[in-house]
Chains A and B, each alone.
Chain A
């Protein structure tokens, strides 16, 4: 059923049902109360299918998916670690899942306590005073964090600070969030190893700078060793430091952004704290701040009184709501389950194992792939394509060929610092056997590039959909079923 591509509506046959309902004695009930123009005139268009039809349909569709549960997913900067099943079990507990967000806080003490405990755990791990768990995802957290930064300057009556410094190697969301927050982006160049050039930074700092957005380890997976000096320079100029938590995984339980001098950060629960990504998520992007910024965190807040009772508070100086109620609560439950499963000692193993795995792959492959920056990386690293450029085989070709071998491709063509970037992040949850298998396949692809380059250029050869015609896809996208059938 590899090529299964039906819609459930195509399976529909009149009168076919999964189970029968008893005769409806109330079919006309309420008809008089509802205005006739609001009453449905034609039957609801639902697929008429048997239970077996439904089971096969969705099982076949799910088999077309590639996910962490199917195979190795070394997508750099995304931290595609395993999502433990116990997280799902905890999040599905009816005691939490069936709560209503508008019910009296007195009757939802457990949920508020979980929120309180999780925000404290994150604050301890990251070295900040307090977190809001309300933002929905990473970029939303960035926007919230930058709004906190703006509120801070505004509250001091400092209206001149409208610029934000972002390194040229930053994740694309950084300048995008800054623009949405109404800040003007000033780019600071990075050195060849991706770290910020302090001499380039100095002349950019003045009384118009609201702050700087950074991540550490940086986009190339290298630790910014001069972070303390950068923090001092930015603070002396009156600015704040924002930490993009996308690269927090290798530091977990070992190094705290708050201790490095950062004032604000977001955490991607769907990266570092093992909750699912993207469409399978949703995400969650808690924002933590240093003590002097706590009052600006968005409403509502969860507080604890002296009797140990939890209550909801809306502060006067705080930002308004950035989400409905408290954000993606189910995701918080999964992250909390993860933290408790690992425990204080276990969580300290995450960073070193992620770092070891990344360095193991890097060192094993640098004979065939071009490593632009030597040295020990953190959780991820970047190759600049194949070492042998004479074959004409590009990073895109290698990425597609990996699909033939059952691996998800790494992040490609990011960062923009190199022409053939290939960003690899294995995470701590992969076994030595999986890493070795990936290394073997990468060597094999490099060999194929030398011996049968045309085959690699035409990859993928065994997937359901072969190499796509990206020009046609961009110019004449087929976006729905009707357009497909009318081809």
Chain B
């Protein structure tokens, strides 16, 4: 299982990378591993408002369907359309295959998220 050093994490197993005011959001390698073969990603639409801690979509795997929780608040500016045809890309590389990009309303929200070390602890539990 991989955890990337330079990212921030939510307890609900999403990762965030902030570049200026654009946050890229995906699910972690731990999450994809726990879910197993992902068969569908229910993504928001560009222009949707997302709120930190609230649901923005869902992933369906051969095991279960799980809600996705946004780690940041703001407006969705891009979604990863490649996942529509190939949701399994997340299983191949969960960090390369992001789910949405959000123009954040409050960049400081990201600082409140877990760093790699704290997230690794949660995964061990």
Contacts and interface: CB of A to CB of B under 8 A. Distances in A.
B38 to A, nearest CB: 8
Interface residues of A, number: 11
A419 B30 CA distance: 11
Given A413-B63, A413-B64, A470-B62, A396 B40 contact: no
B39 A474 contact: yes
B36 interface: yes
Interface residues of B, number: 13
A473 B60 CA distance: 12
A419 B34 CA distance: 6
| 3 shortest interchain CB distances as A-B pairs | A413-B63, A474-B39, A471-B39
A416 interface: yes
Contact of B40 (A394, A412, A416, A475): A475
A396 B62 contact: yes
A474 B40 contact: yes
A204 B37 CA distance: 36
B92 to A, nearest CB: 13
Interface string A377-396: 00000000000000000101
Contact of B36 (A396, A473, A474): A396
Contacts of B88: 471
A412 B87 CA distance: 22
Given A413-B36, A413-B64, 10 more contacts: A394-B36, A396-B36, A396-B37, A396-B62, A396-B63, A416-B64, A471-B39, A471-B86, A471-B87, A475-B39
A474 B60 CA distance: 9
A470 B61 CA distance: 9
Interface string B84-101: 011110000000000000
Interface in A42-77: none
Contacts of B39: 470-471, 473-475
Contacts of A471: 37, 39-40, 86-88
A475 B42 CA distance: 11
A413 B37 CA distance: 12
9 contacts: A394-B36, A396-B37, A470-B39, A471-B40, A471-B86, A471-B88, A475-B39, A475-B40, A475-B85
Interface in B64-122: 64, 85-88
A401 B86 CA distance: 26
Nearest to A474: B39
B57 to A, nearest CB: 15
Nearest to A413: B63
Contacts of B40: 471, 474-475
Contacts of A470: 37, 39, 62
Interface string A405-416: 000000011001
Contacts of A475: 39-40, 85
